[in-house]
Structure 1
Amino acid sequence: MGIETLTIRRPDDWHLHLRDGDMLRAVLASSASQYGRAMVMPNLKPPVTTAGAALAYRERIREALPIDSGFTPMMTCYLCDATDPAEIRAGFNCGAFAAAKLYPAGATTHSEYGVTSVERIGGVLATMQEIGMPLLIHGESTDPVVDVFDREAAFLRSTLALILTRYPRLKVVLEHITTEEAADLVLRDESGRLAATITPQHLMFNRNAMFAGGIRPHYYCLPVLKRERHRRALRRAATSGSPAFFLGTDSAPHETGAKESACGCAGIFSAPVALQAYLTVFEEEQALSRFEAFASENGARFYGVPFNQGTLTFQRTPTRVTGDVELADGRRIRTFLGGETLPWTLA
């Protein structure tokens, strides 16, 4: 008979979009009730580019939390061509920034203010290397001649290779990796300064999910879902026991009308069920004993923070996923796997 309950140390989400305003207040509880910490993404409008903006955003998140919440938001700096290295240093030293995020300009949601060339942020990267500040990367080429399904691999060969060579002590996290090439690159690294997060959707689905019986906008995210061989490679990496891979949901809420439109937004809101989705994958790969490290330990070690106190317990009870979260004005956000049944529930 298989395991009926599983208890793990309280996990962290190392890649999370909380948005702002009414949407922040609608989605925050889904993450705060489960995770001890989250690395909060800075691609608001306008983006979080200064220490002052990061502190103000952190305060808005804290104000939306229950009084007794133990959830800690960790803030990131949105890198632009004009980012001042002195701002990076000051923000990291005062605790406003835990890391900085590199969005290639135009690569994803609200990335239009991002970096157009690594050459333009050389001083920033040198400063980050010096002070030990991690660089988080949305690793996709924005060259229009590169096929959308090849953009991650192209980025690895060009931009990432340049960064790793020029800044040999810079800590780098490849966010939401989607390809066999990325997984193999991280697995081969022996420096300990390269890591990757993996989302539940990229572990559970390949690109066919976006076209099953028609266009399925709620499976559209960036980077997009890839071929089956890539999904299998990600599953092997996540469940391998390698400390270089850890949980990062990339949960990214959009109201339903913005997803189901002529030009739908990229992003999947997975926060309410991501842990059960990950757990399902680990069980299918016969790797339940490695789930706690992936969810609760590897990321903390990489970022140099203590493990969380407390635990979460999952029960083998089939649970139908609730389909929507409602905003204050009545608009709705579709939850990942809404209407589907998962074999585990959070006790």
Structure 2
Amino acid sequence: MAATAPTITLRRPDDWHLHFRDGNMMKAVVGETARHFARAIVMPNLVPPVVRGADAAAYAERIRAALPEGARFTPLMTLYLTEETDPADVRAAAEAGIITAVKLYPAGATTNSASGVRDFKKVRPVLEVMEQIGLPLCIHGEVTDKDVDIFDREAVFIDRTLDPLRREMPGLRVIMEHITTRDAVDYVRAAERNLGATITVQHLIINRNHILAGGIRPHYYCLPVAKREEHRVAVRGAAVSGDARFFFGSDSAPHLDHAKESACGCAGCFSATNAVSAVTEVFDQDGALDKLEAFLSLNGPAYYRLPANEERITLEKGEPVAYPAKIPTPEGELTVFDPGFPLHWRVVG
């Protein structure tokens, strides 16, 4: 009699950091997330960016209209913080349930971040409202100074910007997004309250050698860029620890292949298609499957003060899953993140 395949059942996961883009790209990728995830924090760095409550409401409608028939998925919308953001609009959008968070991009830090913040004093009134109403601030935590090495920009941001901000506004609820360094892990662990962090698929799996050793591999290039192996190990250790301050945010970021494979390639890894399998494989490799549900399904909702999903999914371990290498769009293909090892866990129910 054949042995029964190992299975895991957990609450349906959420993705606490995600890019859908817009138009044909959004229509091509939204189903990849909705297949396995119940909710996602949707990034606002469109062109033009999502800066007002009305923009977020309209974008949410476009996402819902693009969902495959029968999909059970809720987009959780964010506003793009600019130096002209109206505090009253932020308050109204939050109180109306239109937005779940506000996103802070230091100007020039990543894709479509030119409208981001240069002078933090100019956004203080918005942050004060957010502190009052408990609205989370999602932060791309890197400085953009040209004199700071790209591999040091997260650590410098913590010392130069984030820690002073949190000392001045201890009630502000902050999420350090897509952390990549031991510095960030240690900083989050030292926080007594009001600080969480998301961790991506790629930063669990790759270090900077995957991008640069033996040739440039543009589909591993993302921002924040992957760091040394010691940092990847620290980030992975945080994810599998069960610590409630760390939770999953894929930062799945679709770019067409011709935009990635160019003289000035775009930053971002598209992982929505195989994210659940890849994360489960990582936790299995580290003997931490008992912590998987916390990372994928429980810690994020708890930090955002939302209920965990009642619906369950089941994963089964078996022969490697054959995920597509490319996703077609009307403008061309985009490449699915390749973890570099077989994925044996598939969602079966």
Shorter-chain TM-score: which interval? over 0.9
CA offset digits 1:156-193 (Å, max 9, x no partner): 001101210111111000000000000011112122x1
The amino acid across from 1:122 in the alignment is R
The Cα shift of 1:338 comes to: 7.7
Aligned pair count?
345
Moved more, 61-70 or 176-185: 61-70
1:324 is aligned to 326
Q: Please state if 1:336 is matched with 2:325.
A: no
Given that residues 321 and 339 in structure 1 are in contact (C-alpha distance below 8 angstroms), is that contact kept between their aligned partners in structure 2? Answer: no
Does residue 54 (structure 1) correspond to residue 56 (structure 2)? The answer is: yes
Does 1:148 pair with 2:150?
yes
Residue in 2 aligned with 1:10? 12
Alignment of 1:162-177 (within 5 A): 162-177=164-179
Q: Does the aligned pair in 2 maintain the 1:207–1:226 contact within 8 Å?
A: yes
Deviation track 1:124-167 (CA, whole Å, cap 9, x = no partner) reads: 11110001100000000011100000000000001101210111
Aligned to 1:195: 196
> Structure 1 unaligned runs (5+)?
none
Measured after TM superposition, the shift of residue 340 of structure 1 is: 5.4
Q: Which amino acid aligns with 2:93?
A: G
Task: Please tell me whether the aligned partners of residues 221 and 266 of structure 1 are also in contact (alpha carbons under 8 angstroms).
Answer: yes
Whether the 8 Å CA contact 2:205–2:339 is kept in 1: the answer is: no
> Whole-Å Cα distance in 2 between the matches of residues 77 and 35 of structure 1?
21
Equivalent position of 1:227 in the other structure? 228
Q: 1:102 is matched by which residue type in structure 2?
A: L
Give the distance between the partners of 1:63 and 1:2, measured in 2 at CA: 40
Identity, % of aligned positions: 51
Question: What is the CA-CA distance between 1:310 and the residue it aligns to?
Answer: 1.5
Question: Given the alignment, which residue of 75, 79, 100 partners 1:98?
Answer: 100
1:31 aligns to what? 33
Quick check: 2:8–2:314 contact (8 Å CA) kept in 1? yes
User: Which of 115, 118, 122 is the matching residue for 1:116?
Assistant: 118
Given the superposition, is the C-alpha separation of residues 213 and 88 from structure 1 closer, same or farther in structure 2, using an over 3 Å criterion? same
Residue pair 1:321, 1:341 contacting (<8 A) in 2 also: no
Equivalent residues of 2:259, 2:265 under 8 A apart: yes
Q: Give how far 1:7 is off.
A: 1.3
Q: 2:109 aligns to what?
A: 107
In the TM superposition, residue 345 of structure 1 has moved relative to its aligned partner by 1.7
Note the 1:164-313 alignment, pairs <5 A. Answer: 164-191=166-193, 193-313=194-314
Q: Write out per-residue CA displacement over residues 265-310 of structure 1, whole angstroms, 9 at most, x where no aligned residue.
A: 0000000011111111111111100000110000001111111121
- Check conservation: 1:209, 1:219, Cα contact below 8 A: yes
Rounded to whole Å, the distance in 1 between the matches of 2:338 and 2:122 is: 40
Counterpart of 2:266 in structure 1: which amino acid?
C
Distance across 2 between alignment mates of 1:194 and 1:310: 27
Partners of 1:222 and 1:161 lie apart in 2 by 21
SS at match of 1:341: coil
- In 2, the alpha carbon distance for the partners of 1:102 and 1:338 equals 29
How big is the alpha-carbon RMSD for the aligned residues of Structure 1 and Structure 2?
A: 1.4
* Matched residue SS, 1:165: helix
User: Contact 1:16–1:38 at 8 Å: present in 2 too?
Assistant: yes
Amino acid at match of 1:60: R
Describe the shift of the 1:203–1:338 C-alpha distance in structure 2 as closer, same or farther (beyond 3 A): closer
1:67 Cα offset (Å): 4.0
SS of 1:320's partner is coil
Q: CA deviation at 1:2?
A: 11
TM-score under structure 1 normalisation? 0.97
- Shifted more, 275-284 versus 96-105: the winner is 275-284
Give me the whole-angstrom Cα distance separating, in 1, the residues matched to 2:339 and 2:20.
19
Could you say which residue in structure 1 is the equivalent of 2:90? Answer: 88
> Once structures 1 and 2 are overlaid, which stretch shifts more, 65-74 or 263-272?
65-74
Paired amino acid for 1:91: A
Is the Cα contact below 8 Å between 2:103 and 2:139 reproduced in 1? yes
- Gap runs ≥5 in structure 2: none
Which residue identity is paired with 1:274?
A
Change (3 A) 1:290 1:114: same
SS of the aligned residue for 1:136 comes to: strand
Distance 1:5 1:241, change over 3 A: same
Report the alpha carbon displacement of residue 68 of structure 1 after superposing the two structures with TM: 2.6
* Mapped partners of 2:341, 2:22: distance in 1: 28
